[in-house]
Amino acid sequence: MNYTEYYEMSEEQFEEMESFYQKLGYDKKQTKKLCKKCFGAEIRVSKYAKYEPDWVFYRKREYKRREKSLSAGGACEVEDGLCEEAPMMKASMSGAPMMCMSMMGGAMPGAAMCGMMNMAAAMPAPMPMTEPPEFNTAETNNAPENEKHSPLDESQVIFSANVNTASWSYLRNKIKRKKKIDPSFVRIEEILNSYQYKLDAPKNGDLFSVSTEIGKCPWDNEKELMFLGFKGRKAEKECRQNLALLVDVSGSMDDEWILTQMSVMAILSKLNKGDKVSIITYSDETDTIAKDLDGGDRSKCLEAVLDIKGIGGCTNGSDGLEKAYKYIGKHYDKDANNRVFIFTDGDFNFGITGVGALEKFIKEKRETGIYLSIVGYGERNFKDNKMEGLARNGNGNYTFIGNPYDILDYLWEKLVSSLVTVAKNVKISVEFNPVFVSEYRLIGYDARMLTQQEFHDTEKAVDGIGSEHNVAALIELKRGKAEQKYKSRYVNVDAAGNESEFAFVEVHYQSPDGENLVLTKSILLKDIEQAQKDNVDTAAVLASFGLLVKDSQYKGDMTSRKLYELMKETGLRPEGRNRENDYSHFGIIESYLEDKL
């Protein structure tokens, strides 16, 4: 039987979608096309549709074939297997345990239909339907939190940069919709790194700068917090783009395709004449929708996206990635940003599926010089562990999209910093002087800790820093002379010697061309104590929030009430904020606190 598929949305939501595309710069004609169809399905406005705060839309089917069927009373038209002359029959059949006519092959003689109606009427009323439990197969890594150390037992804290924002975006969508938070999805460093701090630009040709501050620790009066901020250099010139947009069109993505189409169009809207883009889809099989489109040709790019059809099926993500990397490799442009964008929920259930095997696969691909950006969707089937692992091992970055605000924030307004990498494989070491620091603990970065060997290994691949990108770290520390819990014959506090140096920061990284570089900074006691506190108090509020939502064993005496007072004290709670549409960091924290106070 022939049918058409469609999405149904409220007038208010439809107007929001129109406004979204117009903000991206699409004209009225282009916007109308984008708001008419999505991945092969129509978009319809209905006065009966409710506003969907999570922008999840289920496809509906409308059957088109209409057949004539002779009956004692004459002919009646049949649609979707139901006789339009007999509306009571629809109600009867909907409550009876029988197969609808559309599954029986279409039309049925009228006498037989009447017999079925009588049978249905004579049958007992069906048992009331119970609400099924919420289907949830989301997965994430749940790395143990970093522990406290004495500088004499663990002389250095070493970790890799993290430029992802997925955890923060996922978290704020949960809070905004008042849904339960799974603490294992909370990565505090991503909350910290998603905020734009006041950081000095790099000087003397450095690819990034290092800023340090020290301030109070709000959850432990005996501790202090040291803030480390890294800011990437602004790209010297606009880099030409050579992109492959790899779109997951498998069955698990069916509810997310409106947001996915909006995301793809946001990226395309940023491209210029001379940029190259190809569009590839995958489910059971991989299909190339368009090759080597000129990014400046809006009309052709738009038509290519509208040519994508939702086909369902399994998710052979490894085959899609293989072909996208192969395609970019074949058309590699040494003067461009060569990058694969993958839009997916991460539910790879065909081909290479295991986390370890996927990470090994993507590590091999990163040697090609092709970068990876991952855009994640879908709370109930969200494979955060696979996507985070792919990004961490593949010269990549990763964000989560739950609504149009996320798209505008992370894929549109901040696209340049995500695309142009100014420093690759950024590994950070901080060493505290045991004369001044008795104990320290790195907050977050739990899955990104490195060994000494990995720190000095130039082949060890980790995240990079983009153009004008922020990376922040916060270290909880306790002043005083360090003591050794684990005695060592040759290492002791007397070996510290330098009584003016509070800490020493060493960063190993590579230039975009692959040159191995080292940046060092001695943090003098007098300098850090006299430095302005432009960032540490803000970072302390964000970390306090992260410790609470993660229900961290290290949250100390931090409570919701204390966090609320801390926001007021630091001036981060301005009055008159429009909470309904406020997706800012402190707007989200306020929304979280509403139900806690």
Residues of 547-559 as b/e, b for ≥16 C-beta within 10 angstroms?
bbbbebebbbebe
pLDDT by 10s per residue, the chain, length 597: 578 899 999 999 999 999 999 999 999 999 999 999 999 999 999 999 999 988 999 888 888 655 444 444 444 444 444 333 333 333 333 333 333 333 333 333 333 333 443 444 444 444 443 334 444 666 777 789 999 999 999 989 999 998 888 999 999 999 988 888 989 999 999 999 999 999 988 988 888 899 999 999 999 999 999 999 999 888 776 788 999 999 999 888 888 999 999 999 999 999 999 999 999 998 888 899 999 999 999 999 999 999 998 878 787 878 888 899 999 999 999 888 899 999 998 777 656 666 677 778 787 887 788 888 999 998 777 788 878 878 877 777 889 999 999 999 888 887 766 778 888 889 999 999 999 999 999 999 999 999 999 999 988 878 888 888 889 999 999 999 988 888 766 665 555 556 789 999 999 999 888 899 999 999 999 999 888 888 999 999 999 999 999 999 999 999 999 999 999 888 887 665 555 568 889 999 999 998 888
Main-chain dihedrals φ then ψ at residue 326, nearest 5 degrees:
-65, -40
- Which pLDDT score is estimated for 514? 86
Tokens of 202: 């790099």
Q: Which residue has the tokens 């590839």?
A: 280
H or E element in which residue 71 lies: strand 67-71
Domains defined for the chain, CATH in brackets: 67-107 (no CATH), 156-165+187-235+422-594 (2.60.40.1230), 240-416 (3.40.50.410)
- Which pLDDT score is estimated for 111? 36
- Which pLDDT score is estimated for 397? 86
Calpha distance 413→63 (Å, rounded): 41
User: From residue 307, how far is each of 38, 275, 519 by CA, in Å?
Assistant: 9, 21, 49
- Which pLDDT score is estimated for 580? 58
The three-point CA angle 42-46-51 to 5° equals 100
- Which pLDDT score is estimated for 347? 75
Q: Is residue 511 within 8 Å of 207, Cβ to Cβ?
A: yes
Tokens of 141: 């890594």
- Which pLDDT score is estimated for 284? 84
H or E element in which residue 244 lies: strand 240-248
The three-point CA angle 502-507-511 to 5° equals 155
Tokens of 532: 């302005």
Q: Is residue 324 within 8 Å of 277, Cβ to Cβ?
A: no
- Which pLDDT score is estimated for 320? 87
Q: List, in sequence order, the alpha helices (H) in 253-297.
A: 257-269
